[in-house]
Each structure stands twice: as structure tokens, then as C-alpha cells.
Structure 1
């Protein structure tokens, strides 16, 4: 039988009712939220594609694991299970638990970044760059140029580091001023784009030549491994676990938000091989997170996290996960909706500048589009453009080349029927795009403005 898509590799055991507000109430809700989808109440959202962070559906084994929570303040059995699982899957010697990924970013930046530091990476991520800058560092984008082109379907590893850009930076500022290179696997703001194994290997070799640490942002590393298996020569017969192990052999450490490929609602860690870095991290984690044996997580959360890390390596799980995203992307692309191509691993990204060409970037077309999709359908999405990019230290807006709206699929949550509804809503929004107006700030916080900023329409 010729099937359009792979059915869900699970069956439904519990349901959570959904409701959709009448359009008049949606208009009032988004206005009250300052046209910021982050400020909408969850009860006013029909299908929630804001993020895949902590919004996953846990398995029956993970739920069973919650009942095995050892809530000791120190030395929890669940911590030892989580620690050994990370060591087994990734191969790092040391693990420091944190409440989520940005807790790990904070520890790493406080320990290694100082005024005058430069931190290269394959495109910024919002919280990562914020921690680096708050500690006096400067982020430098060394991703390949193809990553900044939204519709470029033939480039299969748009997350790759440009080795020449990286080496030019080393020669310009000196390796001693580069505490580490941050390699995202996958690259969120490029559209969930993967990094090839070849590139990871080359980046590691160049870094070792100059004595620079390689630290992964491995929040979605299983998705990256799947793309390597599907797209890179020599890996189609390897298991996801084997590919993951090789990936991490080209890193000195990693930060992770367990709320993504850990398939849990909370949790994260900082992992490393270096003894001195581990010693400093365990001292600092007590100040910001908790004891080095829980780091802000409960015992039950650590147990679910450990189980989720292993479940994520299942090929049927990750194949379905990525194919769901691809299904939505293809449906939109076939309807003429401008999206980032190839479609990434965790989300479909709409090209807001191409969607709303009449709205200048200083009027935040991605922010506008996310609000309009909610008005049209009750579907919540997220801006990933000029608002997320923020401002330079001098107060000027960044104006990134990619002005995107992210449609992020939580793991094991929505069906293909939900995705059909989302696609149809966006197509309807596209048909009335000429009537959509720009936005301006009425409240702009100094850091990470996309979370709590408020807007009104430009007349």
C-alpha cells in the first residue's frame, strides 16, 4: 500500500481536550497580549506550536518513572541514572545537572567568557548569546552563507560551520581570546538545519590545532543524527545511537535542554571531559541551580529525563518526528507559501519577508505574521526575526537576513489532521496578506525582548 506518511508509532492513552475561541475573542486576546504570542494565555490557544521545549508527551515508561522519584536533597538514585545515561549515550566524563538549557549556558559563560572574549558559532541562539554578552563576550557568526538564504533546498547541511570564517577569526583575534566554539546541532534559527559529520570532524580538528574547546548546543542532537543517517554518505546503515556517539567524539562538552530531545517537560545539563571545568561548574551550580546531584530538577524529573534520552534514540520515533515536520512543510510549499527549505527537524519556518513584502523589517513582519495566524485560527506560533535578534551593545537593531515565523511541533502531541488544519489556516492568512499592517513597540525590555515585549499596529 502506498502511504502518504508514516502513522504515529504510538497509540493514544490519555487525551487533553482542546477548544477554539470565536474569532472576535481571539482578536481581543492577541490585542490584550500586545500582539506577542508569548503573552497569550494557554487556555486561549487551540493548537500550540509556540515551541517544542517542554511541551512533549511523555511515554508510559516515563510516567511510570515519575513514581520512582528519589527526592533526596543529595545523592538521589535518579541522578545516578541520569548521569550514567548521558555518559553512555554521549561519552562525556562529567555531567552537571541544571533546571534547563539556559542554566547550563549560564554556567558555561560565567566560567569561560570574560570581557574581550569572542565566541564563534553557527548562528546565534537568543539565550546563548545573551549569556555570552552579559559576561562581556562577543558572539561571531561563522555559519556558512547558505544558512542565511531561506529557500535553498539543495543544501542538505545548512548548519555547517564555514571553516574559512572560523580560521579568519582565529587569526584576527587570537586563539587565546576564543574560549570555545559553540556548535548547534541542529541550528534553530537557520530553520532547524543540521550539521554534517564531516563538518563536525573538521571543526574539531581545526579547533584542536589552535587549542580551542568545542562545545555543542545539543538540544536537538537526535534530529541532527537522523539527518546524517538520511543524507550523508556512509551513515545509512548505522544506528542513531552509533551516529550520536561519533558526533559527540568531536566535542569537548555540551549544553543541553532536556525539554527537547530528552522528551520531558523540564531539565538540562552541562557535560564535559575537562576536570578543571567540571570542578568550577560544580561549585557554581550550587549558587544558581542546586546541588550537583539535582541542579534544579526533582528526582522524578531526572528519572523521566533518563528514560526519554534512551527513547529518543529509537529510529521509528525520530523518523516519524522529522517526517511530521516535513509533511507540514511540503503541504505549505505546494500551496505557494514561502518557507525555509529544506525543512528542518523540529519546525517549519515561514519566510515572513516574502510572505509580507509590503511590511518593512523595522515594522517586524514576523511578529505581525505570528499574531495574524493566531487571529485566523487560534494556532500559536513564534516570531524568529528582528524582534528575537534584539539590539547591539550600541542600541541598534540587528536586522537579520532571516525574518521567520516558527511553527514548532511538540513531540508525540499532534496528529496529521492537526497539521492539515494549521496548513489551511496559514493558506487563508496568505490570501489576505495585503490587508495586514506592521507593528511598533510600546514596551521593549532591555534583554530577550521577544519574550515580554508589547506592540501595537502602525497606522
Structure 2
């Protein structure tokens, strides 16, 4: 018999959740323009919109808030965070930022010139936006398996070395300031990169004089998959695997709001002293002093502790297993999801869930809206809306993956909450033909998924043609 395990923590404080009626949820959804980003959190029952900044901090972290040094310059809390990053991640230089996109902005401004190319293992929205705003073109060099939700590949985040070499040959190494390697790959379904692939990518780039910068936001989750799936790592500690991973890079951008287990903050890390000096000057312009970079001293204290808590083997095992608790039940019920189950979220395959809708009808956006209407569970579209428009043609980018992301915050919900999500999705799947598509009524010029507004395409104006108002 397989012994069941419980959460590696106990609950000290609770927050009451909103449990709106069907009519109240419908009103909230209409007010938000059918965009789950625009729904007030007070109207959400189970919030799976994102794992960014939604972590429940530990008692040690809450206690550390009282010891934060809020000095404008030379903060003791910064020294503690800097030392922790150097020790756990292994980089020589660290600069604090208010969150990950602050680090992306600085790296892009300093490394990119107009006309450059940035190869990467599938785009991420804010990362690509910063690269393009500074004149670069993103080139996807992820393995083909990553674009197929049905392929059960253990490391779908891997870079295809042949594709990468072709980009180098076509545009010239001098026009590639760095390769952007995400660990894990969010938009592929939270898919990891193997240690072997990281090593090979780093070797290829070094032989061509190209830097490798990681999007290390969920690097601990990636380390867990290496321990679980790659030969030679089963008996190693997560902390040791993580440090080896990061050694095959020249630096990273980090959103501390994920694997650093805090609600705000981030950093830019690197090994090159000259780049560090230049970056330090831009931190002053965009973020704040290099000894706080947009974070309060108390946040830096909490992040330093969170970095160490995140590499605890018991913590990360439970983290991954809770995601699987949700995903495995959906698989058993015949719900189409991205395989294999990723590290931070379960991704519904909206194309297969709603096959009667064309991609131009925004099936993932419609499914996310329908899920909220059905049960008050908030999720996120990751498809044609998130992909935005081609900067040259103005046409919609049409990714092969049209997904709804069910993102599980760290240490926040129990498995019973996941069971509620499963029940709602199964009910929706059983009446999927009744869900209509959406039209976009307002489109922001950049990162449109945050603020776009929609309305149902049905003649009745209903998202679900046969509403069941008896639902709670």
C-alpha cells in the first residue's frame, strides 16, 4: 500500500473565503468584461490566477519582518539577502529589484541593441515584451514536443540544439547577446529543462561567445524534476541540484514572488563584474538604491529566509505532489490537460475542451470565464490573447497551445480545495457544448491579457447557453 502524506506544515492563521451565489458571480464577471484578471479578489472563492506573490509565508518569515532594516543605504537586510543568494544560487553579483520584470528591464536595456535576436525556450509575456521594446526579436528554439500537449516528454522545456545552432549560423553570434533559458517553462505547461540540456546549451553558447541568462523564477521546481526524472540525481539534495543547474549560466532574472516564497521582490544576478557595475547604475534609475532596489528591508529579510525554505526537500516534494493531486484527478476524468503535469500549475487544453470554438473565438479565455461563473474559481488564459500580435504584421500570434492555467499558490490551499476545482471542471466538461466564444471589445496595445475586455458571441448574450442557477 502506498502511504499517504500530509502537508509539511500546520496552519496558524486562516482567511475567510468569499462564496458568492451564481447570480453574484455572473454580475462580477460581466463587470470585469469576462477577463479574470479584472475580477476583484473579494469576489473569488479559490484563486488559481497565479502563483506570483500569492505565497503563504512561514512563521519565521513573518517574524523576520520585525527585524527589517529600512535604511535607505547600506541596509543590513540587503546584506543578508545578498549573502543568501550568493550561497544558495552561486552567483557573484546580485542587485535587488521590485520584482522580476524590473530585472528583465535592466538586463534588456544593457544587453540588447536594435536588430538583435534572443533565442529562448518558448516566450514569456513580460520577458519578450522587454526584449522587443529594446529592439530585439525573440526566436523560439524549444523542442517540438513542447508545443504538443499530448506528448509525455520528461523535459519538454529543453532547447533544441539544432535549432539554436541554426539561429547562430543565420544571424551571427555577434547579434545574439544572450540566450534566455527559462527553468521551468511556464507557457509550455510548467515544463522542466534537464541538467544535460542546460550543460549542452551553455557549452554551445560559450563556444560562440554568447551568454546564457536564466529566467530562474521556478528553478527549485525544475531541480525537483531533475531529481525525479534524470539519471544520477535521485540521491542528491535539491539544494545541490539547484546550485549545479545555475552554474551553467552567466546570470539570471528572478521574480522572488514564486520560488523565493515572498509576496513581492526580485533580483538580477550575474558573474560579470562589468555588467554588474552597469546594472547597478540602472537600478538607481529604475528601482532604487542598490541596497534595496524597490524592496523594503522587511521584504528582503523574508526573501532571504524563503530562499532557504524553498530548497527544503520535504517542502518542494509536497508542492509538486499537490499540483499532481489536481492534475491526476482531471486525467482520470478524461479532461484534456497538458502532459506531463508541470511544477506550478495544471493547464487545461482549451482546444480539446471546446473543440466547437475556433482559436479566434478565444476558447481559453471563454473557458476561464466559464470556470469562474460555475464555481468562483479564478484561472488564467494562456493562448492567443496572451500571445499578442506580431510586431511586424499586426496580426494575432496564433500559438499551438491554447491553454487555461490553474496555478496553485504555495502553502495556501489544501487538497480539498483542489477537489472542488476538479468537480467544477468535470461539470463544465459535461456541458462544454453550451459554452460560447468571446469577442474582444477593448484591446490594450501591449500585454493585452491583463486589461482586455470581452463579451459573449452568443445571440442570447450568455456565456453558457443553459445556465443552472441552482449551483452554489
TM-score by length of 1: 0.99
Q: Is 1:456 aligned to 2:455, yes or no? A: yes
Q: Give distance in 2, aligned partners of 1:108 and 1:167.
A: 23
SS at match of 2:67: coil
Q: 2:181 aligns with which of 158, 180, 183?
A: 183
Residue in structure 2 matched with residue 28 of structure 1 by the alignment: 27
Aligned equivalent of 1:259: 257
Query: Which residue of structure 1 aligns with residue 272 of structure 2?
Result: 274
Matched, 1:19 2:18: yes
Provide the residue aligned with 2:466 in structure 1.
Answer: none
1:336 lines up with 2:366 in the alignment: no
Measure the CA separation in 1 of the matches of 2:177 and 2:2. 52
Q: How many residues align?
A: 457
Equivalent runs, 1:350-369 vs 2, <5 Å: 350-369=348-367
Q: CA deviation at 1:152?
A: 1.4
SS for the counterpart of 2:145 is helix
Match of 2:467 in 1: none
1:220 counterpart (208, 218, 221): 218
Cα distance in 1, alignment partners of residues 246 and 220 from structure 2: 11
Q: How far 1:6 sits from its partner (Å)? A: 2.4
Structure 1 residues without counterparts, runs of 5 or longer:
none
Question: Does residue 2 of the first structure (1) align with residue 2 of the second (2)?
Answer: yes
Give 1:458 shift: 1.3
DSSP-derived class of the 2:440 partner: strand
Q: Unmatched 5+ residue regions in structure 2?
A: 459-472
Partners of 1:368 and 1:276 in 2: how far apart?
48
- Tell me the secondary structure at the aligned position of residue 236 of structure 1: coil
Is structure 2 residue 388 aligned with structure 1 residue 380? no
SS at match of 2:405: strand
Deviations 1:250-277 (A, max 9, x none): 0000000000000000000000001111
3-state SS of 1:358 partner: coil
Matching of residues 377-416 of structure 1 within 5 Å: 377-393=375-391, 394-416=393-415
1:216-254 per-position Cα deviation (integer Å, ceiling 9, x unaligned): 000000000000000000000111111011001100000
Q: Report Cα offsets for 1:54-79 as digits up to 9, x if no partner.
A: 00000000001101010000111010
Mapping 1:22-171, distance limit 5 Å = 22-153=21-152, 155-171=153-169
Superposed displacement of residue 114, structure 1 = 1.7
Q: Secondary structure at the match of 2:348?
A: strand
User: 1:17-62 CA distances to partner (integer Å, 9 max, x unpaired)?
Assistant: 1121000110111111000000000000000000000000000000
Supply the distance in 2 between the matched residues of 1:316 and 1:91 (Cα, whole angstroms): 22
Deviations 1:144-176 (A, max 9, x none): 0000000112x1000000000000000000000
Task: Give the one of 293, 296, 307 matched to 1:295.
Answer: 293
RMSD: 0.7
Aligned: 1:371 with 2:369: yes
Give the distance between the partners of 1:178 and 1:332, measured in 2 at CA. Answer: 41
Cα separation, 1, equivalents of 2:18 and 2:453: 26
Pairing of 1:301-316 with structure 2 (within 5 A): 301-316=299-314
Counterpart of 1:215 in 2: which secondary structure?
strand
Separation in 2, partners of 1:331, 1:114: 47
Report the Cα distance in structure 2 between the residues aligned to 1:232 and 1:171, rounded to whole angstroms.
Answer: 31
Deviation of 1:2 after TM superposition, in Å, equals 3.4
Alpha-carbon separation, structure 2, partners of 1:395 and 1:76: 47
Task: Give a deviation string over 1:366-417, Cα, whole Å, max 9, x none.
Answer: 0000000000000000000000000011211111000000000000000010
* Aligned equivalents of 1:421, 1:151: Cα separation in 2: 25
CA distances 1:289-339 after superposition (whole Å, capped 9, x unpaired): 100010000000000000000000000000000000011000001001000
Following superposition, which runs of at least 4 residues in structure 1 exceed 6 angstroms of deviation? none
SS in 2 for 1:67: helix
Q: Distance in 2 between matches of 1:257 and 1:431?
A: 38
1:328-358 alpha-carbon deviations (Å, 9 max, x no partner): 0000010010000100000000000000001
- Whole-angstrom distance in 2 between the partners of 1:407 and 1:335: 16
For 2:193 and 2:264, locate their aligned partners in 1 and report how far apart those are by CA, in whole Å: 26
In structure 1, the residue matched to 2:426 is: 427
State the distance in 2 between where 1:320 and 1:99 align. Answer: 28
What's the secondary structure of 2:187's corresponding residue?
helix
Partners of 2:82 and 2:5 lie apart in 1 by 34
Q: Give the TM-score, by structure 2 length.
A: 0.96
- Distance of 1:330 and 1:114 partners within structure 2: 45
Name the SS for the 1:190 alignment partner: coil
